[in-house]
Amino acid sequence: MATNPEHHVVWDWTVRLVHWLMVILVLLLWWTAEEGMMDWHKRCGLTMLGLVIFRIIWGFSGSWTARFVPMFRRLGSLGGYVRDLKNGSHKPVFGHGPLGILSVFALLGALSVQVGTGLFSVDVDGLESGPLAIWVSFSTGRDIADIHELNFDILSTLISLHVVAILVYQFILKDNLIPPMVTGKRPRSDFAASSLPSIKAGFWAFVLSAGIAAGCVYSVLNAV
Amino acid sequence: MLNRKIGLLCTSVAGVVLLSACGQSGDSEAASEATSDAGTTVLANGMTVAEQIKLRHDALEAIGDALKGAGDQLKSGSPDMAVIQAAAASVVEKSTGMEDWFPEGTGPDSGVETDALAVIWEDKPDFLTKVSDMQGAAAKFSEAAQGGDAAAIGGAMKELGGTCKACHDKYRKDDD
């Protein structure tokens, strides 16, 4: 993929695929919940569960820009980064910028809470319930369902913030973040650094990570 | 490194918990403020407003509990019919007298926290029809439970759930 020397790969294909699948699934989950299509809501929710688990594992097994530990390390540059934003001297960052890193953790955290509570939620009629709700009482399941609803507000606020931020970068800071999340690539000239890490999804890392995520979903399905 | 990670995790968890607390504090504050002097009015049946609301809330929750218990059995590969039959009998028992649970003055204006909407008393005949639909469906559900056929029980339970939903959609505060 990185054969063109004028472009450098920023996001490996799994990061991009998972990102856009999550976008589609959040919309589908919202819609199926609004319409009361609980069978589809559960199917989509389990798919989302798999994606979230995969993405968290990929944060340790994936390519450099996908990994959490380097992200944690780069959080230290948050102060200088924000100062540059205010001074109007913003420069594109290879991978997530410090603010983007906060966004990644917040979004993944909220998504985890959302799929986690969904597993145990019980509806008010005591009929529909998450796949693991058999392990909790009706009233506990109702309380968890309340958190499920409340956390959706947190999640949708975070998503709105994320979208607004992307638009601000696009139109005000002239930092074009959307095409790289589709194609994975960015012009090499966008980055000042003389050497950039090579971004590639390891085949066996992917097989193993996806296998674990699928295994988790499978065991949820067969837990009862 | 690990410490920092754990710290961040704790912070974010604390943040979520805090946010959820914020979201709910408004409701409970209003409720506790209201219960301090409201709800002591005595109804024609001898109960106070607060007692009446608590009674129906607990009974409806018990019905939810029983339905969930039956549903959990149906979901499992080998449903325990005795559990389902007991749950179904409990739904019938707990829903007896439901038509009397909503006397005038036990709505949201009573000052006691309730999810019952004022429209109940604006269209009481329709509300009562829905109550008796539920009681009828509960009886059929119990009958099916006695029969012991999982598919028939599942069908009867769906019907029953539909009657719960029909009423909740129109007459219960939607917290979704």
Count of A-B CB contacts under 8 Å: 78
| 3-class DSSP string for A61-121 | HCCHHHCHHHHHHHHHHHHHHHHHHHHCCCCCCCCCCHHHHHHHHHHHHHHHHHHHHHHHC
Helix, strand, coil % (nearest 5) of chain A? Answer: 70, 5, 25
CA–CA min distance B162, chain A (Å):
9
Out of A69, A72, A154, name the one closest to residue B19 (CB): A154
Contact B160, B136 (CB under 8 A): no
Q: What is the pLDDT of residue B82?
A: 96
Partner B, chain A 152-171, Cβ-Cβ below 8 Å: 153-154
Cβ <8 Å between B64 and A138? yes
pLDDT, tens digit, for every residue of A34-81?
998 999 999 999 999 999 999 999 999 999 999 999 999 999 999 999
Contact B148, B91 (CB under 8 A): no
Q: What percent of chain B has pLDDT over 70?
A: 78
pLDDT, tens digit, for every residue of B14-45?
444 444 444 444 444 444 444 446 788 899 89
Domains along chain A? 7-221 (1.20.950)
**pLDDT band at residue A26 using 50, 70 and 90 as cut-offs:** very high
> Mean pLDDT across chain A, nearest whole number?
93
Interchain contact A147–B (C-beta under 8 A)? yes
CA–CA gap between residue B101 and residue B127 (Å, rounded) = 12
Q: Where are the alpha helices (DSSP H) in B45-113?
A: 49-75, 81-95
Question: Which ipTM value was assigned to this complex?
Answer: 0.71
Cβ <8 Å between A126 and B63? yes
- Tell me A62's DSSP state: S
pLDDT, tens digit, for every residue of B91-104?
999 999 999 999 99
Q: What angle do CA A15, A166, A107 make, to 5 degrees?
A: 55
Q: What is the pLDDT of residue B38?
A: 73
Domains along chain B? 37-171 (1.20.120.10)
CA–CA min distance B164, chain A (Å):
6
Residues of chain B with C-beta less than 8 angstroms from the C-beta of A154: 16, 19
Q: What percent of chain B has pLDDT over 90?
A: 67
Q: In chain A, which residue's Cα lies nearest the Cα of B62?
A: A138
Cβ <8 Å between A154 and B65? no
Q: In chain B, which residue's Cα lies nearest the Cα of A137?
A: B65
pLDDT, tens digit, for every residue of A160-194?
999 999 999 999 998 989 999 999 999 888 888 87
